[in-house]
Structure 1
Amino acid sequence: MLRQLLSEPRLVPLWTVLRFWLGYQWLSSGWGKLFSPAWTGENAPVAIMGFFNGVLEKAQTGAKPEVKGWYASFIEAFAIPNAEFFSYLIPVAEVLAGLGLIVGGLTTIALLGGFTMNLNFLWAGTSSSNPEMLIVTLVLLFAGAHAYRYGVDHYLFQWIHKFRGTAKNSTSSSS
């Protein structure tokens, strides 16, 4: 029943609005970081180190810390030594996810990238708008092709199917 609801053609405009909203969230979040000296400029990775240190602090508070030990270990052993890489990766990934969702191009990849970022921000003890974004992402993933009916992917996949169909016909006619 849920699958039937998500694939209802009359809901395509709703999925499009949600996709635009989600894309705007990612684009606006990444855009500021992309041009911030503390993220990608001469002071990189100052901002991400502040974030990572906050994650480690949240892992050490109380009987039920906001950040699980395994994630704190990941931050300490892998993320901090590669802080400069993450300082560039996060803003670029946020901007690309946002652009992909807004234009409906490589939508599934953008949704999966956003899903991964949302999970990491939640594991880091940062809620903000991440729970809402995660739910919208899941809805759009389950909506499938209806999520990008009004987007670049719709026309790209039509072209690919047409091209592949033509390629099959030309191969079989030459045999």
Structure 2
Amino acid sequence: MKQRSLAVLALGASLALAACTQTQSREVAANDASGYPARLPLTGVSLPVEAAPAQPEGGKWQLAGETLSFAVPGGATLLAMNCTHAPDGTAQLHLTRMTRAEDGAKALFALIGNGRIARLPLDATRAGEQGEWQGTMPAADPRLEVLRGGNRIEATLPGGGTLLLPASLEPGRLLAACRASDRA
């Protein structure tokens, strides 16, 4: 009986949320002279961009020096990875995702592939539609195993869209070389 009550409660909450519209999310409720709630439009509030950026067609992995990037040939880089070292010699993988960003934003960059799921912290380092997100983590971090295996990887940044990274052994090779360069 308790499970049925919970199911009914969940259904009711779902229906209540479904009844909300985009217009309602841009309004605030206030009481009119009779004390009855009334909707008032919010002014001076910037509205969020509705759709995440779409991935351009034809993106490929490209290795240039020690940086592995994903981009449409001749186009702007969408994702870049390279190996760096901390002052103590610890090998680190540095990730840069180019997509829109808000000033001071932080997010978890979700990677799904090779039988694994990882959420890697990134910080917005340049705001705007041509924004940039960056994060650095020790190359030995087990979350980075998502890069090994050669299968397709789905990479999602909230509000920045999803990249469908084609199957490649290059991300795993970069990670292995970075781990091997650890001097700590």
Question: Normalized against structure 2, the TM-score is what?
Answer: 0.23
Question: Normalized against structure 1, the TM-score is what?
Answer: 0.24
The structure with the greater share of residues assigned to strand is 2
The structure with the greater share of residues assigned to helix is 1
Which structure has more RCO (C-alpha within 8 Å, separation ≥ 6)? 1
